[in-house]
């Protein structure tokens, strides 16, 4: 079997076009504040992408580039100011933050009604309860891809590899919310291959090149690769050995061009939702 390639770039363009149309219907232009502390090169690329997405979607972007030695107090003061601003509907603080700033404190300072990343404990609690306010962008992007390609989750065995707060845990909850039978695997899982071989839907979100090889994938499985790594040749790749796994899977996401663009598009959807709720 040769898998259908799930085109996240094309679907993200559709989602963004929908966001642009919705933004035009609002009385006030939606606004997203994006904060970057320091000069992490990967974060700089992500933030540039978010600024561009806002422009594409008719969303005002207030971007803040703070030096690496910004204090926690200064960052918290900026978040407090943005919480109070009526022209700011969403606030995103790019992670990771420099080590001297407590990430948890900053994420908890963002007002839940502007928490378009869905990283605040309130947002996470709502996701856990199955009653989300904002959906976490990467897992929501994966669900959107599954829907677009007509892949039913209910009754399927879903295996999520990775248990991060940003992807693995909320991904498991969204799959559970659609009645998948979900297993979460991590670095202490004794037999990762045996677990993965059970999966009808396999989501890899670890950040390790070639973690998922073809012998770990059931014939006809749906394989979603959330990771963004660079291989030994410096080429972008995910966690999945793509060429070999694509021969066994029924559907597969490429890297780049799969989940990444969907993550960005879902942030635009969340910002629109925040703006609608606040108007």
Which residues contact ligand GUN (rule: CB under 6 A)?
92-95, 117, 137, 166
Between CA 38 and CA 45 the distance in angstroms is 13
**Minimum CB separation from ligand GUN for residue 203, in Å?**
16
- Extract the tokens encoding 22: 């919705």
- Extract the tokens encoding 137: 């962008």
**Nearer to ligand GUN (CB atom), residue 20 or residue 95:** 95
Residue sitting closest to ligand GUN (CB): 95
Length of the chain: 279
**Minimum CB separation from ligand GUN for residue 166, in Å?**
6
**Minimum CB separation from ligand GUN for residue 213, in Å?**
26
Contacts of 33 (CB under 8 A, 6+ apart): 61, 62, 63, 64, 82, 85, 88, 90, 91, 92
Is 204 buried (19+), middle (13-18) or exposed (0-12) by CB count in 10 A? Answer: buried
Angle at which helix 8-25 crosses helix 137-148, to 10 degrees, equals 110
**Nearer to ligand GUN (CB atom), residue 107 or residue 146:** 107
Between CA 122 and CA 132 the distance in angstroms is 10
**Nearer to ligand GUN (CB atom), residue 16 or residue 248:** 16
**Nearer to ligand GUN (CB atom), residue 132 or residue 217:** 132
**Minimum CB separation from ligand GUN for residue 93, in Å?**
6
User: Which residues are part of the catalytic machinery?
Assistant: 50, 94, 117
**Minimum CB separation from ligand GUN for residue 115, in Å?**
10
Pairing type for strands 31-37 and 60-66 reads parallel
**Nearer to ligand GUN (CB atom), residue 39 or residue 219:** 39
Q: Which of 177, 169, 181, 192 is nearest to 239 (CA)?
A: 192
């Amino acid at each position: 079997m040769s898998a259908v390639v799930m085109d996240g770039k094309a679907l993200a363009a559709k989602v963004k076009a929908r966001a642009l149309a919705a933004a035009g219907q609002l009385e006030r232009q939606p606004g997203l504040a994006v904060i970057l502390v320091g000069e992490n090169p990967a974060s700089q690329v992500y933030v540039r992408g978010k600024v561009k997405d806002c422009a594409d979607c008719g969303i005002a972007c207030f971007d803040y580039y703070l030096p690496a030695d910004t204090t926690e107090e200064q960052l918290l003061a900026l978040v407090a100011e943005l919480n109070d601003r009526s022209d700011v509907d969403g606030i995103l603080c790019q992670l990771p933050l420099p080590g001297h700033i407590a990430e948890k404190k900053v994420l908890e300072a963002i007002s839940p009604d502007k928490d378009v990343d869905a990283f605040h404990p309130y947002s996470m609690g709502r996701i856990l309860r199955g009653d989300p306010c904002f959906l976490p962008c990467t897992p929501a992007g994966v669900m959107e891809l599954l829907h677009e390609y007509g892949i039913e989750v209910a009754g399927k065995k879903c295996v999520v590899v990775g248990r991060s707060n940003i992807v693995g845990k909320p991904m498991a909850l969204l799959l559970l919310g659609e009645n998948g039978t979900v297993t979460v695997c991590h670095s202490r899982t004794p037999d990762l291959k045996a677990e993965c071989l059970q999966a009808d839907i396999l989501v890899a979100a670890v950040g390790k090149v070639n973690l998922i090889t073809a012998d770990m994938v059931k014939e006809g499985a749906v394989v979603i690769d959330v990771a963004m790594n660079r291989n030994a040749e410096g080429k972008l790749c995910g966690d999945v050995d793509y060429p070999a796994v694509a021969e066994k899977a029924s559907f597969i996401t490429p890297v780049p061009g799969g989940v990444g663009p969907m993550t960005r598009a879902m942030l635009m959807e969340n910002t629109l939702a925040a703006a609608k709720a606040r108007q």
